[in-house]
Amino acid sequence: MSPGSRRRACANQVRIIGGRLRGRQLRFADLPGLRPTGDRIRETLFNWLQGRLYGRRCLDLFAGSGALGFETASRGAAEVVLLERDPAVVRGLRETARELGLVEVQIIQGDALRWLEAPARPFDVVFLDPPFGAGLLGRCLQRLASDGWLSADAWVYLEADASAGLPPLPAGWTLEREKRAGQVLYGLVRPRPIRDGG
């Protein structure tokens, strides 16, 4: 393998940083726009979520490399649903889940907004890290707020381009934590799901 090939291979890997799979490397497809959440951000995020993952149902609407979802499974989530639109990325995620023996991880190929039009089932933790500049973050938040996708004590993680900032939150939602790392702005939100009749 040439030095350039080695650099590309290393660039297309992320490491699970905690839980029973700590230290395992995840390979992901070399595709434009695929931007895994970095180690430093993930470490902060999972410190925020400490004690809130074991036995929970978790959803990653823009799975990409799978770093957030596989990390969540490593830390004891009962069910993890990874949604990803690109078929090549989905194939890679399924192969990784098989290699790691993660039977609690379900990988679905589909578009996030269309998938959220299906009959809802509540999740305890939702990760929202869409492609920057696509205008998807606010639209997903509104759909999650109104369609019964969140449990009574749910948490939602947001990741956005720092230059654009986080979108307005649905009514009654609270931004509990917020940090910036380089060009990435990220935060943890405590939702109040909207119910019919107020």
User: What pLDDT digit, counting tens, does each position of 116-161 carry?
Assistant: 999 999 999 999 999 887 889 999 999 999 878 999 999 999 999 9
Distance of CA 172 to the CA centre of its chain: 22
79 belongs to a structural domain:
yes
- Whether 61 maps to a domain, the answer reads yes
104 falls within a domain:
yes
Q: Note whether 173 and 189 are within 8 A (CB).
A: yes
Task: Enter the pTM of the model.
Answer: 0.88
Q: What residues are paired with 107 via a beta bridge?
A: 82
Q: What is the DSSP letter of 127?
A: E
Query: What confidence tens digit (pLDDT) does each residue in 72-129 have?
Result: 999 999 999 999 999 989 999 999 999 999 999 999 999 999 999 999 999 999 999 9
Q: What is the pLDDT of residue 7?
A: 38
Find the domain containing 14 and state its range: 3-190
Give the number of domains in the chain.
1
CATH number for 173: 3.40.50.150
Q: Is 195 a domain residue?
A: no
| 198 part of a folded domain | no
**Amino acid 30: pLDDT:** 65
Which tokens sit at 51? 């004690």
Q: Is 19 within a domain?
A: yes
Q: With respect to residue 197, please indicate whether it lies within any of the assigned structural domains.
A: no
Q: What's the start-to-end Cα distance of the chain, in Å?
A: 61
Establish if 196 belongs to a structural domain: no
